């Protein structure tokens, strides 16, 4: 079980939904291509996007013609997802990873993008198994800073200096291992893809403060913002700053049969 599942995951983004929708990165097209190919996703196969937040990953899949149902317990985040617009093949509903309320065997794939570290891992994986068709796939996806890039490393150093970041980023980095170790699934492996997010100065601050662990107390927040502005000034080019990411996908398949 992830330690973060006890950190009030369903309400801690209540006041961050608008900033999250505006400033969080999307996911690389190569990663979305991989999901479609690996799970043989088509216009008649459902993807359940659990912990879908403001619908960033849901919209990317739906735009490819794949039916997507986004599950999100936080009403503010769900409201932002709806505010971004919907497609005929995209819908959202309230629910939790550990108890989605969905029928057994309804999904060809289950996706958790930037979310699984907030779940109770064992209970969530059992629920994923239940709602997957035999042969269906689980995908756990994260954008993680690629600090081989000097600008991203400088940005990451500021983020990691906050106590809240240390509490979240350690468990998050290990969360995907629960899927690879699960006896419920087979063919587990990790794939990686390169990505970047290009931001102006206010966008960089918005990206940073959209994290639930960013400082909120005024003096601490002001100091944090000043450090971020200094990093932006040092590495920006023509008013733009690039955060480099390594997008990880942990994947595993529900067996075709249990015999």
d(CA 20, CA 52): 12
> What pLDDT digit, counting tens, does each position of 139-163 carry?
999 999 999 999 999 999 999 998 8
> What pLDDT digit, counting tens, does each position of 76-121 carry?
999 999 998 878 999 999 999 999 999 999 999 999 999 999 999 9
Domains of the chain: 3-253 (3.40.50.150)
d(CA 114, CA 145): 13
> What pLDDT digit, counting tens, does each position of 39-74 carry?
999 999 999 999 999 999 999 999 999 999 999 999
pTM value is 0.92
């Amino acid at each position: 079980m992830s330690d973060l599942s006890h950190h009030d995951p369903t309400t801690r983004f209540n006041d961050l939904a608008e900033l999250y929708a505006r400033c969080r990165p999307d996911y690389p097209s190569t990663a979305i291509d991989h999901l479609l190919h690996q799970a043989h996703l088509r216009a008649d196969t459902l993807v359940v996007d659990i912990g879908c937040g403001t619908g960033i990953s849901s919209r990317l899949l739906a735009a490819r013609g794949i039916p997507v149902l986004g599950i999100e317990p936080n009403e503010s985040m769900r409201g932002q997802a709806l505010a971004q617009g919907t497609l005929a093949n995209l819908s959202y509903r309230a629910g939790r990873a550990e108890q989605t309320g969905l029928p057994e065997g309804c999904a060809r794939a289950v996706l958790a993008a930037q979310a699984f570290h907030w779940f109770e891992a064992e209970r969530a994986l059992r629920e994923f198994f239940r709602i997957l068709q035999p042969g269906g796939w689980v995908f756990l996806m994260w954008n993680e800073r690629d600090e081989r890039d000097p600008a991203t490393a400088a940005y990451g150093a500021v983020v990691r200096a906050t106590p809240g970041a240390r509490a979240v980023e350690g468990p998050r980095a290990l969360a995907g291992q629960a899927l690879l170790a699960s006896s419920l699934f087979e063919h587990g492996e990790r794939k990686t893809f390169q990505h970047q997010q290009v931001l102006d100065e206010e966008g960089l601050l918005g990206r940073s403060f959209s994290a639930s662990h960013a400082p909120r107390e005024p003096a601490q927040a002001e100091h944090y913002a000043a450090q971020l502005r200094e990093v932006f000034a040092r590495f920006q080019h023509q008013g733009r700053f690039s955060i480099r990411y390594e997008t990880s996908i942990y994947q595993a398949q529900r067996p075709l049969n249990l015999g």
